[in-house]
Amino acid sequence: MDFLKLLLRFASITSILLLVLGLYKPWVVLWWEDTQNRKKVVLLYGSVALTLWILHLLV
C-alpha cells in the first residue's frame, strides 16, 4: 500500500511539473499533437494530476 501511495504521489508531481513546463512551452509536452496550446496542456496534464492526487488521497 505504501508503494502505491508513493507511486501515485510521484506520478502526480511529475504531471504537475509537466503542466508547468507546458504552460511555458506547450510544444515540449504536446509534441504528438498537430496544434499545441496551453488549453490542451491544462486539460491533459491538469486532469491527470487532479485524478492521481485524488487517488492518492483515497488509497
pLDDT at 41: 96
Q: What's the farthest any 2 CA atoms get from each other in the chain?
A: 39
Q: Give me the number of domains the chain comprises.
A: 1
Q: State residue 1's pLDDT score.
A: 81
Measured CA to CA, the distance from residue 7 to residue 44 in angstroms comes to 19
pLDDT tens-place string over residues 4-51: 999 999 999 999 999 999 999 999 999 999 999 999 999 999 999 999
Record the pTM.
Answer: 0.89
Output the CA torsion sign for 20, 21, 27, 31. Answer: negative
Looking at residue 45, the DSSP 8-state letter turns out to be I
Provide the residue range defining the domain that includes 11. Answer: 2-58
Q: Among candidates 51, 14, 19, 11, which has minimal Cα distance to 38?
A: 19
